[in-house]
Chain A
Amino acid sequence: MPTKSYDGVDVSVDEQGFFTDPSQWREPMASEIAAEEGVGELTDRHWQVIKFMRHEYEEKGSGPSVRALGKTSGVSIKELYQLFPKGPAKLAAKIAGIPKPRGCI
C-alpha cells in the first residue's frame, strides 16, 4: 500500500492518491493535497464542499457524485466545476481525505 506525507504525517493512500483510511486526515492536510492537484488556495466555498464530503462519507460510507453534490451541498454544479475544475466529486474526495467515490453501476 503506498503512503504519502501530509502535514508531517505518513498516511495510507491508493494508487490514485485517495486516502484509504479517512481517520488519518486532518484539516491542515487539505491545502497540501489541493496544491498537488492544482486546485490553488482553498476558499470558504471549497471548505463548504470538503466538509460536506466528510459528512456524507461518515453518513453513507461513500462520497457523493457530482449530481448529488449539486443537489445537496448548497453549491451548484457549475460552481463546483469552478472550484474543482478537473472533476468535483473526485477532487473534493481526494482533498477531503476519503476514498474515491464508488462509480455508479
Chain B
Amino acid sequence: MKKRIVVLGGGTGGTLVANRLRRALDASVDIVVVDRDDRHVYQPGLLFVPFGAAAAADLVRSRSRQLRAGIEFRRAGIERVELDEDRVVLDDGDPLGYDALIVASGASLRPDETEGLSEALAGRGAHSFYTLEGSAALSAALAGFDGGRLVVNVVDMPIKCPVAPIEFSFLADWYFRQRGIRKQVTIVFATPLDGAFTKQVCNRELSGLLEGKGIEVVTEFNTGEVDGPGRRLVSYDGREIPFDLAVVVPLHGGASYVDRSEGLGSEFGFVPADEATLQSRARPNVFVVGDAADIPVSKAGSVAHFEGDIVARNVCSFLAGQPLAARFDGHTNCFIESGHGKALLIDYNYEIEPVPGRYPSRVGLPLLRESRLNHMGKLAFQQLYWHGLLPGLDIPGIGTDMPHAGKHLEVLSGAG
C-alpha cells in the first residue's frame, strides 16, 4: 500500500524537508508539495532591495524547480486541513489524503490588525520591506528622501528575522552617510521590547552599535495606530512618534487556512509543536517546520534549515512505526548586517544565548563582533541557499546541533 506525505508550503522549510525525504524514502512513498504560486522568494535578500543593493527580480525562482525528481508539485490554495479525516481540502475542491502532513506554510503579514496600517501601506504613507513589492517601493521612497525623520517600527513580536529591522536601521545610517545627508536625517528605532534584542549579551552589543551610529531607540512602544496622513505612530499608552518616512514591520500570523482548520493552530494561526521533535500538538501524524511553528525559537531561515533535518528524520521514523529519535536543540544562526560592508554573526539555541567567540569552531567566523568576513559570509550564503540548503544537502561546517567549541561561554556567568 502506497503512503503519501503532504507538505503544505514550498518555501525554505517545505522545500528542504521534501528533498530530504525524497532522498531518504523509496518509491513506495509519494511526496506532494502544495503551494498557491510558483514564486520562491529568497527572503534574506529583501533587506538589501530598499538600498539598491539587490534587485527584487533576482530574488525569485520557481518553487517547483527547487524540488527533486519524484516530488509532485501541486499548485493550489489550501482551504483547510481536516485532522479527523487525515486530509487537506484544496481550493480546487479535491481532498488530498495523507499519512503524514508537514505544515511548512510560514508566517503571513497581518497589517489589517493595526489601525490605519493597511491604508498607510496602500497609500505609501508607510512602507514595509517584508514583501518584494514593498521593498521595491521603499527603494524609490528612500532615493527621494532628502532629510527628516525615518522611523523604523516593529508593531509586535513574533516577526520573521527579528534582527532585520535593526539591520535596516544600520543600513539606513550607512546609506545616508554615503549620500552625504546623514546629518539631515534622524533615525528612530521603535520596538515593543524593553531593549533592541531579547537576549542580554547580544542586546548590549546591538544597543552599543545603535548608539554609536546615532540611532534613537524607543522601547516598550506598542503601536496602536499608524496615522499615515498625520505622519505619526501612536502607541496604546498614548505616546506619539512623528515621522517623515515610516518603515513598519506589520503583525505576523500563520497562513490563513490554519485558522480554518479546527484544532490545528494557536490564536495567531501558528501551529503548536513539541519543541524537540517538532511533532504537532494536534495529531501525531502532523509535523511543523519553520516560521509556521509555535515554538520558542526565532522565525529565521537557519531555524527552518536545522529543523528540516530533524523533521525529515522524525517523519521517516513515524512512518516506520518507530520512536521519534531526532531532537531539535533550538539552534539559530543569523548574520546581522551593520553597514560599511560589515556584519555580525550570532549562533545560539534554546539553552545558550548569543556570546562572542568563533563559529563553527575556534577557527571560523567571529561571533557577536563586526567583521568584513561576516558580511562576505552573508553575501555568499545566497548561493549556498539555492544550491546546498534547499536541495537538503548536508553543508560541511554547518551542522544541525549548535556547536559549543569556539564560544566564550564564560561571559554568561556574568550576564545574570
Which residues of chain A have C-beta atoms less than 8 A from B251's C-beta? Answer: 67
Which residues of chain B have C-beta atoms less than 8 A from A68's C-beta? Answer: 267-268
Binds A, one of B21-29, B90-98, B156-164: B156-164
List residues of A (26-80) whose CB comes within 8 Å of B's CBs: 65-68, 71-72, 77-78, 80
Chain A CB within 8 A of B220 CB: yes
Q: Are B198 and A72 in contact (CB under 8 A)?
A: no
Chain A CB within 8 A of B296 CB: yes
Give the distance in Å from the alpha carbon of A86 to the alpha carbon of B298 in the complex.
27
Say which residue of A67, A77, A78, A87 sits within 8 Å of B220 (CB atoms): A87
Q: Are B236 and A81 in contact (CB under 8 A)?
A: yes
Give the distance in Å from the alpha carbon of A67 to the alpha carbon of B194 in the complex.
16
Chain A CB within 8 A of B351 CB: no
State how many angstroms separate the Cβ of B255 from the closest Cβ of chain A: 17
With contact pairs A66-B222, A105-B157, A105-B296 given, residues A78 and B198 touching in the complex (Cβ less than 8 Å): no
Which residues of chain A have C-beta atoms less than 8 A from B298's C-beta? Answer: 105
Considering only CB atoms, which chain B residue lies closest to A103 in the complex? Answer: B198
For chain A, the count of residues having a C-beta within 8 Å of the partner chain is 17
List residues of B (210-224) whose CB comes within 8 Å of A's CBs: 220, 222, 224
Give the distance in Å from the alpha carbon of A72 to the alpha carbon of B265 in the complex.
14
Q: Are A81 and B193 in contact (CB under 8 A)?
A: no
Chain A CB within 8 A of B84 CB: no
Chain A CB within 8 A of B319 CB: no
Give the distance in Å from the alpha carbon of A105 to the alpha carbon of B354 in the complex.
12
State how many angstroms separate the Cβ of A63 from the closest Cβ of chain B: 14
Give the distance in Å from the alpha carbon of A25 to the alpha carbon of B236 in the complex.
29
Q: Are B236 and A77 in contact (CB under 8 A)?
A: yes
Give the distance in Å from the alpha carbon of A77 to the alpha carbon of B225 in the complex.
12
Pick 22 A–B contacts, CB within 8 A, sort by A.
Answer: A66-B156, A66-B236, A67-B268, A71-B267, A72-B267, A77-B224, A77-B236, A78-B224, A78-B236, A80-B236, A81-B224, A81-B236, A81-B237, A85-B237, A87-B237, A103-B194, A103-B198, A104-B158, A105-B157, A105-B162, A105-B297, A105-B298
